[in-house]
Structure 1
Amino acid sequence: MAVLILNQRRRAFAPYLSWLEDLDEEVYLYTSPAYGETTEPYALVQVFDNWVTNDRVEIDALRLYEDHPYRLIIALDESDLIRAARLRDRLHLPGQRLDSATAYRDKAVMKSLVRQSVLCPAFRRLDSPLHLYDFVLEHGLPVVVKPVDGMGSMNTEIIWTPEQLNEVWERGLGSGLMVEAYVEGEMYEIDGLMMGQEIRFASAGKYSCKPLEILQQDCFVELLSPGCAVYERLVHEVQQVIEALPSPGVSTFHCEMFHTPEDEWVFCEIASRTAGGRISESVSAMYGVNLNREWVRAQCGLQLKLPASSPPQVAGVYLMPKRPGTVKTIPQTLPFEWVKEYVPRVREGEQLDAAHSSVDAVMTVIIVGGDSVSLQARLSQLLQYLEREVQILPALKEVAWSEASVIGRK
């Protein structure tokens, strides 16, 4: 038999044949042009322009199955989960089916299923402006309006005042939105690998910034040591979430939870895919596990390499979001041995707009330390260095990135 991969990533981030070197089957690759030209020994490579909206991906996958049947469909990107699930349903293939993919993509469906098991904010799907009006009358401001199938905080906004609410109505709500009550508290995230509805591996982290501030302010995601009280509580809460949703089969997951001043855990959302924003790479730096590799191998029934003991160090990822201006200086390397990955995403002289998603960054930096104290000390050292070396020119004057943007919110 064979395996079909639906891919929109660059080859450097998706070395499927390397991950599947011991798979004794043909591998078909349907991909976007981002993958690049390749001489890798795939049994078939087909490139589709306009990947996300190109319906020929599904139609050609059906036609391919008629002549060259495959037993699995692998898709790692969130925007491909529904597409892959429709094909599995049609062809009666194992893996995440449409009911599960919908529950993990549609946040209104998701919360309807989860709220019986864990605390959720009040929410409502917005099919008309009257629904938002009624929701605010019942729950008051602030509220959060976002796409039901959004990713990376894109097109998500907090409405704080009646004036902002009027502005939303004046421009028109649009479609595919939901509203939920704003939750005051700190934001945590948990990533891992699940088989059926059982968590097989988990990593948890804490955001230094408040929800949605990641679009405007620097943020550090510090991974927690396994066994600490917060880690154990997070794993328990997320296990309840997973059990409340239709099983995706074998999948990675990325979940976010609020921790309120009243010491309650409130569900934000979960996705049946690996975290972005270099969080999964920080997990790799701490635990030595590549979640996407293990996800792909697990679906194919191959042996996994999951951590068997607590890691010898902790890790975290720093994100500097884009802000309007012109890049004057940015280092190409960082002079610290404890920096495990540095990815500058802009060039000197480049004109920047404001960040549109949580991964729209000037740079990401993964650092490691022996414990939380040393990790925070190294973060402070990194920020002092970046304050000197990174400069952005706004319209009229030059500003440096301030260390206080993260340190002041810990």
Structure 2
Amino acid sequence: MVNVAVVNYGRLNDYAAMLPELTGGLHVFSHHELERTSGFAHYEYVPDCEFVPYAELRLRELARDRVFDHVITDNEYDLERVARLRTHLGVPGQSPESALSFRDKVVMKEVAGKRVRTPRFAGLGTFADLLAFIDDVGYPVVVKPRKQGGSRDITVLRDRDDLTAFSRRHWRDDLMAEEFVDGEVHHVDAVLADGYRFVACSRYLRSCLGVLSGENNGSLQLHPDDPVAVELTAFLDDCLAAFGTPAVSAYHLEVFRTADGELLLCEIASRVGGARIPALTRATYGLDPLTVWLRLSTGLPVEDAPSGPPAELHGAVAIVPPGHAVRAPERPPFPWITAYEVNTALADGAVAQNSTSHLCWAMVEGRTTAEVEIRLRETEAWLVANTADVP
């Protein structure tokens, strides 16, 4: 029996479907309640599992009576503790040092900066460090937590008034500062292993930070032969060459591209891209990146990575919560819409908390990136026009 420890976050993850050969050896601790858990060796729903160390304790205890062959997680915020578990249990996979370098954005940029260009940055121990950074770099600057994700808790300081307002907030000791980069933001999503390579490049419709000020969020895929996609793929390889990487991993890389075409690292994470990215990947390439990553990580076979050009490209746009009670529209009446979902769990009056916050989202298809973008913007305009206020 192969025993696999799983620290889960995803609400809809179906481990019995993704890893059917291993179902009887799965020991799953989950942040959200899962629907299909029968046949697991062990399953516990752990409220706030992402934030509490209970799963780490129980897995160490379970390991006294059995040998764990693999320790896996789908969640960026669990990468470090899962890496610690691997070290404790003598299990192969990403090390604590590697996990830290993909989680701590100061360490990340120090490491990546050996091979690729990054914005100027600094860790902030005190408010005086922030003032010194602004004196050196000038406005605007971005202040964000070193280990946060999804554009959470990020502040852009554009002038002295913003700085004054920021100085009235409670100071926290996990911050960094970075120069603001004006330009497009691209993302590269990959699953890499010995004998396996899948890389897909995309461009965000707008900066992910825009959702915090009410802008809708989205992304559209680039054709693999697009010159920008070729550059981004090479940037990924150069960036990863600076890191200690596990034999199997998934990556979500975000890259600034300035008006003159220069590429700078925004961030890189050693996990599958979030929000609508996996759905776009499945639609275009017939590949579920999480399933492939977890199967490769547990020594299970997978189909060969797609090698030919895709027949269609896809993009998605998400409408952000407006801050007051609204009713999401019905499915837009366009033939190029391939998926549409309404966030039924959204509370009335909600506002965007992070880059995944949404009222509803739609996926479109097209033959080229330009066609996808035209259709995305038409779909977005229709959704905004047909979102109704609730009296």
**1:205-257 CA distance string (max 9 Å, x none):** 11121351133212331100011100000000011111111113311111100
Report if the CA contact (8 A) 2:144-2:175 is conserved. yes
Measure the CA separation in 1 of the matches of 2:376 and 2:306. Answer: 26
Of 381-390 and 115-124, deviating more is 381-390
Alignment of 1:243-322 (within 5 A): 243-305=241-303, 306-322=305-321
Instruction: Give 3-state SS (helix, strand or coil) of 1:67's partner.
Output: coil
The runs of 4+ residues in structure 1 deviating greater than 4 Å are none
Aligned AA for 1:277? A
**1:143-190 CA distance string (max 9 Å, x none):** 000000011000001100111112212223312110011111111111
Alignment of 1:46-195 (within 5 A): 46-195=44-193
Aligned to 1:210: 207
Measure the CA separation in 1 of the matches of 2:264 and 2:208. Answer: 13
How far 1:295 moved relative to its partner? 0.5
How far 1:301 moved relative to its partner? 1.4
**1:83-112 CA distance string (max 9 Å, x none):** 101101111211111001100000000000
Report if the CA contact (8 A) 1:192-1:199 is conserved. no
Of 184-193 and 382-391, deviating more is 382-391
**1:284-330 CA distance string (max 9 Å, x none):** 11111100000011011122122121111000111111221111x32
Report if the CA contact (8 A) 1:199-1:239 is conserved. no
How far 1:336 moved relative to its partner? 3.7
Query: Is residue 240 of structure 1 aligned with residue 222 of structure 2?
Result: no
TM-score (norm 1): 0.89
Aligned to 1:20: 19
Report if the CA contact (8 A) 1:101-1:248 is conserved. no
Q: 1:325 to 1:242 in 2, by over 3 A?
A: same
Q: 1:99 to 1:201 in 2, by over 3 A?
A: same
Instruction: Give 3-state SS (helix, strand or coil) of 2:282's partner.
Output: helix
Alignment of 1:367-378 (within 5 A): 367-378=364-375
Q: 1:73 to 1:387 in 2, by over 3 A?
A: same
Aligned to 1:42: 40
How far 1:390 moved relative to its partner? 1.1
Measure the CA separation in 1 of the matches of 2:371 and 2:256. Answer: 26
Measure the CA separation in 1 of the matches of 2:389 and 2:379. Answer: 17
Of 258-267 and 106-115, deviating more is 258-267
Report if the CA contact (8 A) 2:68-2:89 is conserved. no
Report if the CA contact (8 A) 1:330-1:347 is conserved. no
**1:343-365 CA distance string (max 9 Å, x none):** 211479x5223211000111121
Q: 1:321 to 1:250 in 2, by over 3 A?
A: same
Instruction: Give 3-state SS (helix, strand or coil) of 1:213's partner.
Output: helix
How far 1:340 moved relative to its partner? 2.3
Report if the CA contact (8 A) 1:105-1:271 is conserved. yes
% same residue: 27
Report if the CA contact (8 A) 1:250-1:298 is conserved. yes
Specify which of 229, 247, 254 is matched with residue 231 of structure 1: 229
Report if the CA contact (8 A) 1:9-1:35 is conserved. no
Aligned AA for 1:22? E
How far 1:333 moved relative to its partner? 3.3
Aligned to 1:385: 382
Aligned AA for 1:301? G
Report if the CA contact (8 A) 2:14-2:36 is conserved. no
**1:377-401 CA distance string (max 9 Å, x none):** 43244234324421246xxxx9xxx
Report if the CA contact (8 A) 2:10-2:74 is conserved. no
Of 382-391 and 49-58, deviating more is 382-391
Query: How many residues in Structure 1 have an aligned counterpart in Structure 2?
Result: 388
Measure the CA separation in 1 of the matches of 2:126 and 2:23. Answer: 53
Report if the CA contact (8 A) 1:209-1:220 is conserved. yes
Alignment of 1:318-333 (within 5 A): 318-327=317-326, 329-333=327-331
Aligned to 1:363: 360
Measure the CA separation in 1 of the matches of 2:117 and 2:196. Answer: 20
Instruction: Give 3-state SS (helix, strand or coil) of 1:150's partner.
Output: coil
Aligned to 1:9: 10
Instruction: Give 3-state SS (helix, strand or coil) of 1:135's partner.
Output: helix
Instruction: Give 3-state SS (helix, strand or coil) of 2:317's partner.
Output: strand
How far 1:35 moved relative to its partner? 2.4
Measure the CA separation in 2 of the matches of 1:28 and 1:353. Answer: 35
Measure the CA separation in 1 of the matches of 2:306 and 2:317. Answer: 24
Specify which of 195, 200, 216 is matched with residue 197 of structure 2: 200
RMSD: 2.0
Report if the CA contact (8 A) 2:319-2:380 is conserved. no
Q: 1:170 to 1:40 in 2, by over 3 A?
A: same
**1:85-140 CA distance string (max 9 Å, x none):** 11011112111110011000000000001111111111111111111011111111
